Amino acid sequence: MKVLLENWRIFISEAITDIVSDKLSDIFEDGTLRPEVIKTIKKGVSEIKQQFPDLEILDYFLVGAAVTYQYSNTSDIDTTIVISEDMDPQEYKIVDKWIEKNIDPKYAFKKRPYQFKITLASDISRDSLHHTDTAYDVKNQSWIKKPDLETAKQQHKKHIADLESYENRIYKAIERSIQPSFARLDRAIDSQLGDRATGTMNEGLSDDLKKMMNTVYKIYEKIKNMRSKAYSGKDKRVQQRISQNWGTGNIIYKFLDREGYNDVFAMVKKAVRSNFEIVDQKFLKNLKQRLSTVIDDEIGFKV
């Protein structure tokens, strides 16, 4: 469970904020996975096995937005690869990083990237797919957990489209709490960048800028912990929903992601974790550009 909650590339890429389509995505044809998609997935799994011959692959199947009724034209084709729970944690990281660097960027179907993600057997099995709306067996061309169109429509209407839903009300409150910190961070960046006419940046990062980055990072940590609750079994609302993806924390995280907040959090996270060593003039200008897309944003999720 620890691995599951710490690595967000596992399982949880369903685009639950997307409008529900009446048909499956273009990786399917007549209800079954396209042959070219099957071929690519099998090839990717084979290449991973060739690179790590001692890796015990127990199972693999598709999860994520591309196998639901809620997807975009660029939704990833997510392949979960189940491996032995006895795997050494350090070796796990090595394999995971190699896949992310060497396999994931290599393949795409139209505008859809493929993503291959290893996960421990102790965190996932075909009998415990609480985290995902659906799962598809590539080898047997069959559903492990079939997507439910009517339930998807009901849940989207109730939790996403209804602006007075519990999730939307909490999201508005979170936005209101985030906005002042983002505005102060933006001002601190302006002070740090110094004389824009000459393009010079003040030497050394100011204490105020570091303080504001740390403040925003703490907000991100709270949001991440809130999201973790959706997958921890502690969110009672999840019990009435199709999967843990529909936990309040994950819905709010998806709202933040869709509206650009997570782009800011991602940059601030890198800065803080590097002890600000990566922060230079280019970094700050990029961060300011990302901030500009969300500062003074209209409060509330725009469906």
Q: Is 5 a residue whose pLDDT tops 70?
A: no
Query: pTM of the entire structure?
Result: 0.78
Q: Is 289 a residue whose pLDDT tops 90?
A: yes
Q: What is the CA radius of gyration of the chain?
A: 21
Q: Are 27 and 114 in contact (CB under 8 A)?
A: no
Q: Are 135 and 257 in contact (CB under 8 A)?
A: no
Q: What is the tens place of the pLDDT at every residue in 99-153?
A: 999 999 999 999 999 999 999 998 888 888 888 889 999 999 999 999 999 999 9
Q: Are 66 and 76 in contact (CB under 8 A)?
A: yes
Stretch among 6-10, 247-251, 266-270 having the lowest mean pLDDT: 6-10
Name the token pair of 206. Answer: 């100011």
Share of the chain above pLDDT 70, in %: 92
Q: What is the tens place of the pLDDT at every residue in 212-230?
A: 999 999 999 999 999 888 8
Strands 112-120 and 77-83: parallel
Q: Count CA atoms closer than 13 A to 121's CA, side-chain side.
A: 10
The per-residue pLDDT of the chain, averaged, comes to 89
Q: Is 196 a residue whose pLDDT tops 90?
A: no
Q: Is 1 a residue whose pLDDT tops 50?
A: no
Q: How far apart are CA 295 and CA 92, in angstroms?
A: 39
Q: Is 63 a residue whose pLDDT tops 90?
A: yes
pLDDT at residue 190, as a whole number: 93
- Angstrom distances, CA of residue 42 to CA of 93, 117, 247: 22, 14, 32
Q: Count CA atoms closer than 13 A to 297's CA, side-chain side.
A: 26
Residue carrying the six token digits 């824009």: 196
